[in-house]
Chains A and B, each alone.
Chain A
Amino acid sequence: MNKLLIVMTLAIIGAVIFLVPPVKGMGEVAKIIFFHVPTAWVAVIAFFTGAFYAAKFLRTQDFSFDTLSARAAQIGFVFVLLSTISGAVFSKLTWGAYWNWDIRQTSIFILILIYGAYLTLRIAVNDEKIRAKVSAVYSLLSVLTVPFLVFILPRMYFSLHPAPVVNSSGKIEMDSIILIVLLAAVVDATLIFVKLLRR
Chain B
Amino acid sequence: MKLSACRLAEQIAAILRKDFLIGIRRRATFAAMMFFALTTVACLSLSMGGVSLAPNFSAALLWLVIFFAACAGISGTFDDEANSGTLTTLKLYADIQAILFGKMIYVFLSLIMLAIFIVPIFVILFDVDVTSGGVLIATIFLGLIGLSAAGTLTAAITVSATVKGGLFSILLFPITLPIFLPAIALTETALTGTGFDADLLIVMTIFDAILITASSILFDYLD
* B contacts with A: majority SS: helix
B130 to chain A, nearest CB (A): 21
Closest chain B residue to A113, Cβ basis: B174
Determine if B162 and A126 form an interchain contact, defined as CB atoms under 8 angstroms apart: yes
Determine if B174 and A133 form an interchain contact, defined as CB atoms under 8 angstroms apart: no
CB proximity to B under 8 Å, residues A124-158? 124-127, 130, 133-134, 136-138, 140-142, 144-145, 148-149, 151-153, 155-156
Interface residues on chain A, number (Cβ under 8 Å): 30
Determine if B181 and A153 form an interchain contact, defined as CB atoms under 8 angstroms apart: yes
CA–CA, A130 and B157, complex, Å: 9
9-residue interface stretch from B62-70, B135-143, B207-215: B207-215
Closest chain B residue to A136, Cβ basis: B221
Determine if B178 and A145 form an interchain contact, defined as CB atoms under 8 angstroms apart: yes
Closest chain B residue to A137, Cβ basis: B218
CA–CA, A140 and B162, complex, Å: 22
CA–CA, A110 and B178, complex, Å: 11
Determine if A137 and B160 form an interchain contact, defined as CB atoms under 8 angstroms apart: no
CA–CA, A130 and B210, complex, Å: 24
> Does A58 have its Cβ within 8 Å of any Cβ on chain B?
yes
> Does B20 have its Cβ within 8 Å of any Cβ on chain A?
no
Q: Which residues of B contact A (CB under 8 A)?
A: 150, 153, 157-158, 160-163, 167, 170-171, 173-175, 177-178, 181-182, 185, 197, 199-200, 203, 206-207, 210-211, 214, 218, 221-222
